[in-house]
């Protein structure tokens, strides 16, 4: 047995404009790191958490990474094994970048790598979802699946899990700007009306299907036309400082699309290449600098690997 391993699970962007609860995309960073090693005391122990400002519990059953790891250990018949986790949270909470999904994925990756890969990576998904369920209260694969597997993931169904990785046009780059306001997913859900006009459903669904076609055809114009959110964005935009100004700046600077990342407040822009993404980032940040809104920038290609052993 190896004595200790380190894993990294990346942040991710869900919804992608037209794919509420259906689309997700992995970033290369930020993300969660876990250092796992065997220890003499039976059971899973979280000995240290950094970067969480005391907000994450050390109790494995209450911790998202712990919960997903325990679900996997139980499945593998390894519940009695003594394992120690050090969790290094290297990304913000409540940012719309899939923080809890990254934790849940890092937990199962750490266990699987420490035990020298009893399962294929794709088969870790149901256990990571258990961790995400602890954080969000329901099964959601649209951040967990891309954080684990990488790429752009289409989720047909969460229960049973039915996910599909889309082919990805080369060079796609993401510019994500996180203004320092916290939005909890459950609050962002509570602003949504329970019903959608039928005509909006048709336009939203048509854009989602066309987005998929755009990825299969590598048709950036079609992807761009399809990244329009008729349903969710109009209901959540007011939660995010100066959303429409930032979006306008990104689109004018050449982004294929720009909308809310997950439940927000991060605003992300999908761009044809890194050069455009840098220009887009500059224009998005300019708005926040003018309004003196504290923010972070994350520039990233589509992460094709997902979670990794470091």
Binders of a copy of itself among residues 173 to 212 (CB under 8 A) are: 192-198, 201-212
Exactly one of 62, 184, 191, 213 binds a copy of itself (CB under 8 A); which one?
213
Q: How far is the CB of 203 from a copy of itself (least distance, A)?
A: 8
List all residues 6 or more positions away from 121 whose beta carbon is below 8 Å from its beta carbon. 109, 112, 148, 149, 306, 307
Q: How far is the CB of 254 from a copy of itself (least distance, A)?
A: 21
Asked if 19 is part of the footprint of a copy of itself (rule: CB under 8 A), the reply reads yes
Q: How many Å apart are CA 25 and CA 225, to the nearest integer? A: 18
Binders of a copy of itself among residues 215 to 234 (CB under 8 A) are: 216, 222, 225-226, 231
The dihedrals phi and psi of 266, each to the nearest 5 degrees, come to: -60, 135
Q: How far is the CB of 142 from a copy of itself (least distance, A)?
A: 10
Which two structure tokens, joined as six digits, stand for 263? 């439940």
Exactly one of 111, 115, 155, 271 binds a copy of itself (CB under 8 A); which one?
155
Asked if 170 is part of the footprint of a copy of itself (rule: CB under 8 A), the reply reads no
Name which of 270, 271, 274, 252 is nearest 261 in CA terms.
Answer: 270
Q: Which stretch binds a copy of itself (CB under 8 A): 89-97, 131-139, 160-168, 258-266?
A: 160-168
Q: How many Å apart are CA 193 and CA 6, to the nearest integer? A: 42
CA separation, residue 132 to residues 98, 106, 135 (Å): 10, 11, 5
- Of 47 and 157, nearer to a copy of itself (C-beta) is 157
- Of 216 and 275, nearer to a copy of itself (C-beta) is 216
Helix (H, G, I), strand (E, B) or coil at 24: strand
Exactly one of 55, 122, 156, 180 binds a copy of itself (CB under 8 A); which one?
156
Q: How large is the greatest C-alpha to C-alpha distance in the chain, in angstroms?
A: 61
Q: Calculate ∠ Cα 163-36-123, nearest 5°.
A: 20
Asked if 22 is part of the footprint of a copy of itself (rule: CB under 8 A), the reply reads yes
Total site size for a copy of itself, rule CB under 8 A: 36
Q: How far is the CB of 102 from a copy of itself (least distance, A)?
A: 23
CA separation, residue 164 to residues 60, 155, 156, 209 (Å): 30, 6, 8, 13
- Of 84 and 229, nearer to a copy of itself (C-beta) is 229
Q: How far is the CB of 196 from a copy of itself (least distance, A)?
A: 5
Asked if 4 is part of the footprint of a copy of itself (rule: CB under 8 A), the reply reads no
Q: Are 277 and 299 in contact (CB under 8 A)?
A: yes
Q: How many Å apart are CA 181 and CA 94, to the nearest integer? A: 8
Q: How far is the CB of 227 from a copy of itself (least distance, A)?
A: 12
**Residue with structure tokens 């220009």?**
279
Exactly one of 162, 182, 187, 294 binds a copy of itself (CB under 8 A); which one?
162
Q: Which residues bind a copy of itself (CB under 8 A)?
A: 19-22, 154-157, 162, 164, 166, 192-198, 201-213, 216, 222, 225-226, 231
């Amino acid at each position: 047995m190896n004595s200790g391993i380190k894993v990294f699970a990346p942040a991710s962007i869900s919804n992608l404009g037209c794919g509420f609860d259906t689309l997700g995309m992995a970033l290369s960073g930020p993300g969660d790191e876990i250092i796992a090693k065997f220890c003499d005391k039976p059971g899973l122990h979280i000995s240290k958490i950094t970067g969480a400002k005391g907000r994450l519990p050390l109790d494995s059953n209450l911790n998202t990474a712990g919960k997903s790891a325990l679900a996997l250990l139980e499945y593998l018949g390894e519940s009695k094994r003594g394992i120690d986790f050090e969790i290094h949270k290297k990304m913000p909470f409540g940012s719309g970048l899939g923080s809890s999904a990254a934790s849940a994925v890092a937990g199962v990756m750490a266990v699987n790598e420490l035990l020298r890969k009893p399962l294929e990576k794709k088969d870790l998904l149901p256990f990571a979802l258990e961790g995400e369920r602890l954080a969000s209260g329901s099964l959601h694969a649209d951040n967990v699946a891309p954080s684990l597997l990488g790429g752009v993931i289409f989720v047909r169904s969460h229960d049973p899990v039915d996910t599909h990785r889309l082919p990805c046009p080369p060079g796609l780059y993401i510019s994500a700007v996180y203004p320092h306001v916290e939005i909890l997913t459950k609050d962002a859900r509570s602003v949504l009306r329970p019903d959608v006009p039928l005509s909006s459903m048709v336009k939203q669904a048509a854009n989602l299907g066309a987005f998929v076609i755009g990825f299969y055809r590598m048709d950036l114009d079609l992807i761009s036309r399809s990244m329009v959110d008729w349903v969710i964005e109009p209901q959540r935009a007011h939660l995010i400082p100066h959303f429409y100004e930032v979006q306008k700046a990104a689109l004018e600077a050449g982004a294929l699309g720009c909308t809310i990342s997950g439940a927000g407040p991060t605003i992300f822009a999908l761009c044809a290449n890194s050069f455009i993404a840098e220009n887009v980032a500059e224009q998005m940040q300019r708005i926040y600098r003018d309004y003196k809104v504290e923010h972070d920038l994350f520039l990233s290609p589509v992460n094709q690997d997902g979670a990794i052993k470091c």
